[in-house]
Amino acid sequence: VHKNAPTVVASFVLILNIFGLLFATAFFNNAALRDHSHGFHEILFSTPISKSGYFFGRFFGAFLLSTLVSLGIYLGFVLGPPVGVALNWIGPDRFGPTPWMAFLKCHFFFLVPNLLFAGTVIFALASHFKNTIVSFIGTIVIIIAYTASLNLMSDLDSQSIAAMADVFGISAYNLDTQYLTPFERNTIDPSLTGYVLKNRILW
């Protein structure tokens, strides 16, 4: 299987998305608490700004910043092959063509929905409790929920339940692709079918 195969890209995006939640938590928490923590909320709320305009503006600003940081994953897949070959770290035969379509599908099938769901929870907790610790506890709870779904994957009888319970969609994608051949892993992009489709609709 190529080092930049669509399935490899999807796996990296899904796994690194979990670690990216820590960065995202900082962005969403800061967006929700900045005015309150700096004592500027009393001045800001005296202006003719709507509640929805304020909260949605803050939320989508943090959401956009979080997704931009995550683009570094794709940059690594673009720069990795030529740098690795040039420095003689790996042979050119280990890479296939740059999977641009896989980048696009991974971004909109996995990364964006995951950040939207997690960001909503984090932003809501920060806005309600006005506490940074509570925001990070919310992130930890989300990660623990994913870990719990992994335990279900070890049981063949409950793999379908695990695929649906996985917040990030990792178990669903692994279940859909577990029997792909190396040729299929190198050529088939992620798709909204099977367990992935059901998982994405749910979360």
Task: Report, in angstroms and rounded to the nearest whole number, the Rg of the chain calculated over CA atoms.
Answer: 20
Name the more confident of 181 and 32.
Answer: 181
- Residues contacting residue 90 through CB under 8 Å, at least 6 positions apart: 3, 84
pLDDT at 148: 79
Question: pLDDT tens-digit profile of 111-169?
Answer: 999 999 999 999 999 988 888 899 899 999 988 888 877 777 666 677 888 888 888 99
**DSSP annotation string for 122-189:** HHHHHHHH--HHHHHHHHHHHHHHHHHHHHHHTSGGGHHHHHHH-SSSHHHHHHHHTT--HHHHHHPP
Residue 160 one-letter amino acid: S
pLDDT at 55: 85
pLDDT at 70: 86
**pTM of the predicted model, to two decimals?**
0.85
Q: Is it the case that residue 36 has pLDDT exceeding 80?
A: no
Q: Is it the case that residue 21 has pLDDT exceeding 70?
A: yes
